[in-house]
Structures are given as structure tokens and as C-alpha cells.
Structure 1
Amino acid sequence: MAPIAAPTYLTPEAYLELERKTITKNEYVNGEPLAMAGASFAHNFITFDTAIQLNNQLMDTECQVASTGDLRVKVAETESYFYPDIVVVCGDPRAEDNVFDTLLNPTLIVEVLSASTEMYDRDEKFTHYRQIDSLQEYILISQDKVQVLRYRRHEPEWIPTEFRTLTDVAPLLPNQCELPLQHVYRRVKFDNGN
């Protein structure tokens, strides 16, 4: 994640106004817009296949899945905005305003890791996401190896559970769905033959 220009403080309102007029997507942290990186084939395959798995299992529940990368999530406590790869909201979605492009109450967020974003997604972004009261699970999916890391809120902590083999199945949103890793990685070819 890199600033889009020389660091200039933008108010959240100015960021949203600019973001809604531009073609490119920028996240927003500490008053600074951050340009989003492009995505690889593996990243797109994993995102799409994971979203399909979640959507199919949650179709008849109160939960909805969004995976276009166009739905912004606001962390009100830090006045930050992010574009998760996949967002699940259970119950009525709450938007920041009547444009309905900024979600306030995600239940589950999925980020597919790349070399350029992995540390940012694991550390700084998770620090922000943890402050969203409605968020129950944060899922990190590696695109370079078979690895899914699920963080589940268990007040006052977030409990990590790692899944590392294609036969693993990650339970998500207690008793609502599961994520078989063989489906997550079905179209991904790894350099090491996995």
C-alpha cells in the first residue's frame, strides 16, 4: 500500500467525495489515501471461489456476501476505510450514508494475501478491523501456499486457528458455514507443486 501522492491530510468527507469520483480505488488511513495494488490470477481465483462457497452456504440465512472489491468498510473508531476482498454481513447492512457504498457493520472479512500486502493485512489493517464491534471473524488466505488463518472474536481476545492442508475444512460463522480448502485452492497452481 502506497500513498497516491505526497502525503496530504484529507478529511474523511473529502476522501469519500474524491473516492466516489475516481476510477481507481484508495483505502484511507490516518487522513491519507492509499492506492490499492492490482491482483494476480491466483488472488482472483481464490477470492471468487471463496465467495461462491460462502454465498452458496449462506443463501438461506440472514447473511449476505459481497466480493466485488467495490464495497468499502468504514472503521468508525479510527475514521479509516478499506476495501476487503470479501465481506459478509449478517442482519441488516448499515451504510454510512444514502449512497450505500460504505458498510459499517461487517460480520466476517476475508483478505487474500499477496507479497505486497501480507504484512499490512496481518498487522495494521487487522488493528483497525478489530475495532469494529460487529466483526466476528477475520480470515487471511495465502495465495502462495495452502494456508488459511481464521481469527475469531472471543472477548476480549481474537483466537487464531490455522488451516494448512487441502483436506482441512475451516468452520466459519459458528454453525453457519465452512470453507473446504480444496475448493479455495482448486484453480491455483503452486510453484512447489502443492
Structure 2
Amino acid sequence: MGQPANPPRHYTLKEYFALQEKSAARYEYIEGEAFAVGGASLAHNLIKGNLVAALRPQARRRGGRVLDESVLLVVRANAFYTYPDVLLTTDPADRRDPYLVRHPLLLAEVLSPTTAEYDRTEKFANYQKLPSLRHYLLISQSAWVVEWFRRDEAGQWVYTLLSMVDDVLEIPDLGLSLPLRELYEDTDVAPRRVLPGLE
């Protein structure tokens, strides 16, 4: 998570939106505090772009949209607003507001050392409260590792780890088949090293 706005203070939602409008920086809003969202590495940006490119054709066929980190997601009205790295929505209601998304089907975060714990815990705990959400991806930018959380028909979250060179992220309900080599294409991120004797 980023740093609180300087100086730290409690913002009403109206004040938060005013801050966003006049500031070049982006802020996530959590229970009245505004946290600056820092810049991204080249690897972060390339991974995100590769995922967006893979998702977009299938999303369009389903009347959906794939959006990146500059779009604000309403996680909990008046309390929790974030900028996911990638989101996919197919809900027609998300076409009505030019600035906010409320019904994501998929969310993805490209992990960084400063946000990884937050993305796995507090952020994911809040994301799980979104009834529309079916897929949550945590993507490493230090090795070829993708953690995929999928909500099943019973509402339980199923965990899948993808970390082998020939692994493919297959999400049938989205029509997605994305090899890790394509997700990490053109980055300097190397596959995860397998320790001797563990092949």
C-alpha cells in the first residue's frame, strides 16, 4: 500500500474526490484515509500490458471491458476505493459511470515488495465482498509466478499456483488461455529457479 496523503488526515468522500481531481498522483481511499499509489517498474507495466492484451479480445466478444490501473474501483461505497492493476467487467451498469467501476468479474494485481502483503490480505479480504468477482490474480514481477483465486459455484475460493515454465493460465469462462511465457514476454523477469534435486 502507498503512503498516506501528506499530511495524514481524515477525508470525507467528497474531499477525496476533490483531491483526486486536482492531484497528478493517484490515491486509494480506505476508511477516510488517502494513500498515494506509487509509480510502477518497467516489468510491472509490461506484465500488466500483456495481461490486458490477452484479456481484451475475449472481453469484447462478451460485451465487456478490460481496464487498467487508472480506473477507480468502488469496493465498498463510502469506505474503500482502489486502483487495481487490471480489471475486467462485463456488467452493463459499469458503462454508466465515466469514472467508477463497481462490478468486476476479474481483478489482477502485479505484486511489488511494498504492496504484496496488502494485496494478499486486506485488499483481497475486501475484494471478496464484491458479489460479481470470480477471479483474482496475484502476479509476481520477480519470477514467473501467478497465484489464481477462483470463486466456485458454492462461493468458496479455490487456489491455483502457476509457476512452471510451461504453465498456462486457463480461465474457461473468460475464454482465456495465457501461457506464462506470454504473460512475461519482453520483460527481464526470469522463470522461477528450481533447486537442484527438486526437478
TM-score (normalised: structure 1): 0.89
Query: For the aligned residues, what is the CA RMSD?
Result: 2.1
Aligned residue in 2 for 1:42: 43
Alignment CA distance shift 1:33-1:175 (3 Å):
closer
Aligned residue in 1 for 2:159: 160
Runs of 4+ that moved beyond 4 A: 191-194
Mean alpha-carbon deviation: is it higher for 49-58 or for 132-141?
49-58
Q: How does 1:40-119 map to 2 (within 5 A)?
A: 40-67=41-68, 69-76=69-76, 79-94=79-94, 98=97, 100-119=98-117
Q: How does 1:143-182 map to 2 (within 5 A)?
A: 143-154=141-152, 155-172=154-171, 174=173, 176-182=175-181
- 1:185 paired to 2:166: no
Alignment CA distance shift 1:149-1:5 (3 Å):
same
Is the 8 Å Cα contact of residues 77 and 131 (structure 1) preserved in structure 2? no
Alignment-mate amino acid for residue 33 of structure 1: A
Number of matched residues?
A: 191
Could you tell me how far 1:61 is from its partner in structure 2?
Answer: 1.7
Alignment CA distance shift 1:142-1:105 (3 Å):
same
Equivalent position to 1:139, from 122, 132, 137: 137
TM-score (normalised: structure 2): 0.87
SS in structure 2 at match of 1:133: coil
Structure 2 residues not aligned, in runs of 5+: 194-199
Could you tell me how far 1:6 is from its partner in structure 2?
Answer: 3.4
Q: What is the alpha-carbon distance in structure 1 between the residues aligned to residue 173 and residue 31 of structure 2? A: 33
Alignment CA distance shift 1:91-1:40 (3 Å):
same
Is the 8 Å Cα contact of residues 75 and 128 (structure 1) preserved in structure 2? yes
Is the 8 Å Cα contact of residues 58 and 177 (structure 1) preserved in structure 2? no
Alignment CA distance shift 1:165-1:78 (3 Å):
farther
Structure 1 residues not aligned, in runs of 5+: none
Q: What is the alpha-carbon distance in structure 1 between the residues aligned to residue 29 and residue 12 of structure 2? A: 10
